[in-house]
Structure 1
Amino acid sequence: MTGQTTLTGKVALVTGGGRGIGRGIALRLARDGADVALVDVRPEGINSVADEIGALGCKATTCVADVSDRDQVFAAVDYAASALGGFDIMVNNAGIALVGPIADVTPEEANRVWAINVNGVLWGIQAAVAKFKELGNKAQGKTSKIINASSIAGHDGFGMLGVYSASKFAVRALTQAAAKEHAADGITVNSYCPGVVGTDMWVQIDKRFAELTGAAEGETYDTFVGGIALGRAETPDDVAGFVSYLAGPDADYMTGQSGLIDGGLVYR
């Protein structure tokens, strides 16, 4: 890494950092100068992304953790701060989808979505706030950042994605409440709301829609993409650019917001 960039000297943690949007976010934060801790439930992806970050000239470390487990999230944050020598940015990115009619959702399915998409964000907020305070970031004049993964489905409830949509609405609520509670601690809390991103998650969503509706594989994806004003599917880099902005100094006066980054699909 050569030259001064917007996140030089910062330490970030990205959950779900082994692939898809999480990988894109981690690499963008590194390109902008941050050292990055990669957390995922699987080790394979994060090890590869760590190598990519190292090639950019930034430090990376990895930690296998399940974000639905509060103790594991706190341990991951402790490890990141110790391994990288500080802690400034928490990106609660990990999440899963659930496609199906509301009438058919089982308790097990609902609980799993909630445990990862909502509780995982809650534990991440708690762990980050505790670490920011422990390190005395505010006393050092730092603005600490918590950035959560919501979705266009956190602004509109989508048919066949009812529980997923509910979980992403909940992330917006946590984001607003945490922003209000921790502004005095020098912590901003915001969310990013992607649309139709060309990742493995959307491949699985499309396949499930095909099973349930009889649509051809790829048809649901194409239909959603067809409604995007900018005329193309979103990439992880599109999301990552917005997250890097939220992580950087230009967003220091922004908190409690859940910004749509979807190419023009849902409007608020």
Structure 2
Amino acid sequence: MADPTGRVALVTGAARGIGRAIALRLASDGHDVAVNDLDSMQNELDVVAEEIKSAGVKSAAITADVSNAGSVNDMVETAADRLGSLDVMVANAGIAQVKPLLDVTPEDFDRMMAVNVKGVFLCFTAAARRMIDQGTGGKIIGACSIAGHKGFSLLGHYSASKFAVRAMTQAAAQEWAEHGITVNSYCPGIVDTAMWELIDAEIGALQGMDRGEAMAEFSKLIALGRIQTPQDVANFVSYLASGDSDYMTGQSVMIDGGIIFA
């Protein structure tokens, strides 16, 4: 059993992939962890919550759509009420879509922004309000991307959504510093998750590649020579959620194995 921190984290999009890895890592660090995903992911979410409990800490599984303000407010209050407080918010939930910009419909664009930008905004602000009321500071952490530092072909509206997260991270950090709240984001690269399997398949279809070929081509860009795992991301988020990062705020840090250098 990890040494208890007495702190409570909430991780959105936690039924699988990066969110699941973050939730389990924070549990191993000693946080009580509430996990969130959509109603359709309830079974997988419940499994993650049980895995967290097996680490010797408390958990709660809360379904909610992060693009809905009422749902997000209820999620934050439910997590804090069930587990005692809210000290770490990880706004991880997000979607991707591969399309040339000329083929992106207004509906495609609105859906991307609703989840990746509005969803982060709602999670950030709901968490900040709760943390300010508690009066003990906190850690707010968002899901950005290397696409928040460089726009990528065929991922134009996705890239735009991640640039927005980067800007919001900087603004929120400045506004909430007086309350002892730090705000940072993590920027993964090519990660072995269902999202990247989707990107690989869709880019492959557009460019006449077999499954796995697009991923292999992108992976040649990685200086460290291997595809990223969800645990690689979770290890960095552990730092952002800990006291070791108390003097760091407003940053969107690339954790990509060496693809983008800035």
TM-score interval (norm. to shorter): over 0.9
Aligned residue among 18, 21, 27 for 2:15: 18
Matches of 2:133 and 2:159, distance apart in 1:
34
4+ residue runs over 3 A deviation: none
Q: Is the 8 A contact 2:145 2:189 kept in 1?
A: yes
Structure-2 separation of matches of 1:35 and 1:154 = 30
Q: Distance in 2 between matches of 1:16 and 1:237?
A: 15
With the length of structure 2 as denominator, give the TM-score of the two structures: 0.98
- Unaligned runs of 5+ residues in structure 1 are 138-142
- Tell whether 2:212 aligns with 1:210: no
Matches within 5 A, 1:1-268: 1-2=1-2, 4=3, 8-41=5-38, 42-137=41-136, 143-268=137-262
Q: In the TM superposition, what is the alpha-carbon distance from 1:44 to its structure 2 partner?
A: 1.7
Of 37-46 and 251-260, deviating more is 37-46
Q: Distance in 1 between matches of 2:15 and 2:116?
A: 17
**Length, aligned pairs only:** 260
Alignment RMSD: 0.8
What is the deviation of 1:198? 0.2
Indicate the percent of aligned positions where both proteins have the same amino acid. 56
- In structure 2, the partner of 1:140 is none
Q: What residue ranges of structure 2 are gaps of 5+ in the alignment? A: none
TM-score by length of 1: 0.96
Q: Name the CA distance, whole Å, in 2 between partners of 1:234 and 1:10.
A: 28
What amino acid maps onto 2:148 in structure 1? G
The CA deviation at 1:225 is: 1.1
Letter of the 1:240 counterpart: A
Distance 2:155 2:55 in 1: 38
**Larger displacement relative to structure 2 (158-167 or 36-45):** 36-45
